[in-house]
A and B are shown apart, each in its own frame.
Chain A
Amino acid sequence: MSTTPTTGAAVSTASEQEALRKAIASGTRPPRASAFAACRAFAWRGILKIKHVPEQLMDATITPVLFTLMFTYMFGGAIAGSTKDYLQFILPGIVVQSVLFTTVYSGVALNTDMTRGVVDRFRSLPLWRPAPLVGAVAGDSIRAFSAGAVVVVLGLILGFRPDGGVLGVLGAILVVLVFAFALAWVFTTLGLVMRSPSAVMNTGFMALFPLIFLSNIFVAPETLPAALEAFVDVNPITHLVTATRGLMDGNADGGDIALVLGEAALLTAIFIPLTSRYYRKAG
């Protein structure tokens, strides 16, 4: 209760007041941030968060390590007859899988953000509207890249030998990151329509699992029953794995890569506007 009369007497010294007065007076407005500068600042925000909570990166990198070891040594012998051959076959696919799983976190992070007051501030700034989203997803590429890089390095240690050389491997990772950037927008949309971070995570993984397992990551589609093979053939993740394998093996097909980039462009074109719309309307 505010029943005690208070005067709000000055609590700071004259020099402190002077510093405040000066700080208030010197807040002149610079020209507006360009769309690019705003995205860059938001990407920086994402990277700072990873810096402050590096455990996040552990999540993104430990699972891929486990997957690589598990698939190579448990199934290698059974599926391909030798672990070495199977590693050669499966590694590009594990890179794809590991990177794509990290994209769900973009949606989870956005969902968490929306419950915090800071989003109100971002939305009240004169900015290119999608900047907070584009910047965040771009910043998340760090996580995606770490997941991919860990798998490649582990693969090299275990005996994976990419005929495509350094350039082929880097090109492959780049294509996977481009596709991951596009796919992340599906999950940011999900992040804005779902009620809780864990709902986003569950739905995201539930959507991703069948697409990952019903692709050509683990087995050649020709060995599958016809109906399954048909699905695997139209699955965009199959296309991405084919392009990645091609680049790493040094026999990339331009058409495969173009198909992947086209699919990425399509996802982006649909889901960036959708996410932006939900973000604008959230409140």
Chain B
Amino acid sequence: MTAESPLAIEASGLVKTFGETRAVDGVDLAVPTGSVYGVLGPNGAGKTTTIRMLATLLRPDAGSARVFGHDIVREADAVRGSVSLTGQLASVDEELTGRENLILLGRLLGHGIPAARERADELLDAFGLEASAGKLVKNYSGGMRRRLDIAASIVVTPRLLFLDEPTTGLDPRSRNQVWEIVRLMVSAGTTILLCTQYLEEADQLAEGIAVIDRGRVIAEGTPAQLKASVGAGSLHVRLLDPAQRPQAERVLSARIGTTHLEVDPAALSTPCGDADQAAEAIAELGRNGIAVAGFSLGQPSLDEVFLALTGRPADEDAETATTEERVA
């Protein structure tokens, strides 16, 4: 088992069911060592369940997986020795201070008390948490908690780090900080499995992406391939007056192409990858007396990826998932 495997994660046919719910329904993954690999999916797609199996917290009902060549069931302890987990629920102890959390982990990972303290202080400094080191974590802001959570995951720098939706709920600044940490970790040689609901995040960080839906991988490739299969991006327009939306839809459809009405009654979007074309279309709206509150030309959202890949919006899943949760 000492042979270096070029794959950090090799999963085939992973299945996990909870009662009637097939949370993970035959997931295959091949994650190369030394990269960020994104797992993209809507609420309830099975991202967390997949990570929990790979991190040896849940036993798969079927299928198998290896982490650096170690079987996640039969060699769980060897797997635990090379991975770290930053869970979706903050995996830090709310009732301890930030510093106590890091010292505790240092001791659990084998450091003596002085070394654990030293490591804790080094991490608190590096993550900009020194001022709150003595505060209870339950009084931390979301961004601070995330940073502490990641710091806790690298008390001993792992070979493989699981990050489960690390930026959900963070403001742009905190999110960028997390991204920066991820980039630095990868350049230091750590492999990262990143679960996210944001195509943009996967695009920013990951070299490979698997899109999962209802427990299955429905698409896989580089961010560029994925975006190419979905379309280059979209022009999103928000109107001042929702009443003008039908008119705006006609203009955009004529200028660019099929226009999609968004949930927001004042918003609409259309696939468009060309900035000049977009500018033209906005000008045309103005000429028609349609007041625009704002517009943006952006990458396809997860919604659009889903629409393109499955022919239905991602939201549907979220709803079924929540109803299932309530029923269960």
* Complex Cα–Cα for A21 and B84 (A): 18
Instruction: For A283, list chain B residues within 8 Å (CB).
Output: 52, 57-58
Q: Separation in Å of the B59 CB from the closest CB of chain A? A: 8
A3/B301 in contact, CB under 8 A? yes
* Complex Cα–Cα for A29 and B57 (A): 22
Query: Can you list 7 contacts pairing A with B, beta carbon distance less than 8 Å?
Result: A2-B200, A2-B302, A3-B298, A29-B156, A33-B108, A121-B91, A124-B85
Tell whether A53 pairs with B85 under 8 Å between CB atoms, given A11-B180, A33-B107, A127-B108.
no
* Complex Cα–Cα for A6 and B172 (A): 9
B92/A24 in contact, CB under 8 A? no
B104/A8 in contact, CB under 8 A? no
Interface: A259 (CB within 8 A): no
* Interface positions of B (Cβ within 8 A of A): 52, 55-59, 77, 80-81, 83-85, 87-96, 100, 104-105, 107-111, 115, 119, 122-123, 125-128, 136, 151-152, 154-157, 172-173, 175-177, 179-181, 184-185, 188, 190, 198-201, 204, 234, 236, 269, 296-299, 301-303
B85 nearest in chain A by CB position = A124
Interchain CB contact (< 8 A) of A30 among B115, B136, B299: B115
Interface bits A25-57 vs B (CB < 8 Å: 1, else 0): 111111111000110111011001100110000
* Complex Cα–Cα for A195 and B104 (A): 28
B87/A23 in contact, CB under 8 A? no
B180/A37 in contact, CB under 8 A? no
A41/B104 in contact, CB under 8 A? yes
Interchain CB contact (< 8 A) of B122 among A23, A33, A44: A23
A52/B136 in contact, CB under 8 A? yes
9 smallest CB-CB distances across A and B, nearest first, come from A117-B89, A27-B157, A23-B126, A3-B298, A30-B110, A41-B107, A121-B91, A2-B200, A126-B80
- Taking CB atoms and an 8 Å cut-off, the chain A residues in 80-106 that contact chain B are none
B89/A22 in contact, CB under 8 A? no
Instruction: For B180, list chain A residues within 8 Å (CB).
Output: 8, 10-12, 17, 20
Tell whether A117 pairs with B184 under 8 Å between CB atoms, given A11-B176, A41-B108.
no
* Complex Cα–Cα for A44 and B97 (A): 13
* Complex Cα–Cα for A8 and B167 (A): 12
Of listed B234, B297, B298, residue having the most chain A CB within 10 A: B298
- Taking CB atoms and an 8 Å cut-off, the chain A residues in 1-20 that contact chain B are 1-6, 8-12, 16-17, 19-20
Tell whether A17 pairs with B184 under 8 Å between CB atoms, given A5-B298, A48-B100, A126-B81.
yes
B184/A8 in contact, CB under 8 A? no
Interface: A59 (CB within 8 A): no
A24 nearest in chain B by CB position = B188
* Interface positions of A (Cβ within 8 A of B): 1-6, 8-12, 16-17, 19-33, 37-38, 40-42, 44-45, 48-49, 52-53, 116-118, 120-127, 131, 281, 283
A117 nearest in chain B by CB position = B89
* Complex Cα–Cα for A22 and B121 (A): 13
Q: Separation in Å of the B129 CB from the closest CB of chain A? A: 11
B298/A24 in contact, CB under 8 A? no
Instruction: For A116, list chain B residues within 8 Å (CB).
Output: 89, 93-94
* Complex Cα–Cα for A2 and B201 (A): 9
Of listed A29, A41, A121, A126, residue having the most chain B CB within 10 A: A121
A121/B110 in contact, CB under 8 A? no
* Complex Cα–Cα for A11 and B171 (A): 13
* Complex Cα–Cα for A33 and B59 (A): 25
Interchain CB contact (< 8 A) of B84 among A28, A124, A127: A124
Interchain CB contact (< 8 A) of B154 among A27, A30, A124: A27
* Complex Cα–Cα for A45 and B152 (A): 15
A32/B152 in contact, CB under 8 A? no
Instruction: For B184, list chain A residues within 8 Å (CB).
Output: 17, 20-21, 24
Instruction: For A52, list chain B residues within 8 Å (CB).
Output: 95-96, 136
Of listed B94, B109, B151, B176, residue having the most chain A CB within 10 A: B109
Interchain CB contact (< 8 A) of A5 among B185, B269, B297: B297
Instruction: For B157, list chain A residues within 8 Å (CB).
Output: 24-25, 27-29
* Complex Cα–Cα for A45 and B102 (A): 11
Instruction: For A5, list chain B residues within 8 Å (CB).
Output: 296-299
Interchain CB contact (< 8 A) of A31 among B94, B104, B110: B110
Q: Separation in Å of the A283 CB from the closest CB of chain B? A: 5
Instruction: For A16, list chain B residues within 8 Å (CB).
Output: 126, 128
Given contacts A27-B119, A124-B85, 8 further A-B contacts (CB under 8 A): A21-B184, A22-B126, A23-B126, A25-B157, A29-B81, A29-B156, A42-B108, A121-B105
A25/B85 in contact, CB under 8 A? no
* Complex Cα–Cα for A32 and B151 (A): 19
* Complex Cα–Cα for A27 and B123 (A): 9
B188/A25 in contact, CB under 8 A? yes
B188/A124 in contact, CB under 8 A? no
Q: Separation in Å of the A59 CB from the closest CB of chain B? A: 16
Interchain CB contact (< 8 A) of B204 among A8, A26, A28, A281: A8
Q: Separation in Å of the B66 CB from the closest CB of chain A? A: 16
Tell whether A117 pairs with B88 under 8 Å between CB atoms, given A1-B301, A3-B298.
yes
Interchain CB contact (< 8 A) of B109 among A9, A17, A29: A29
B123 nearest in chain A by CB position = A23
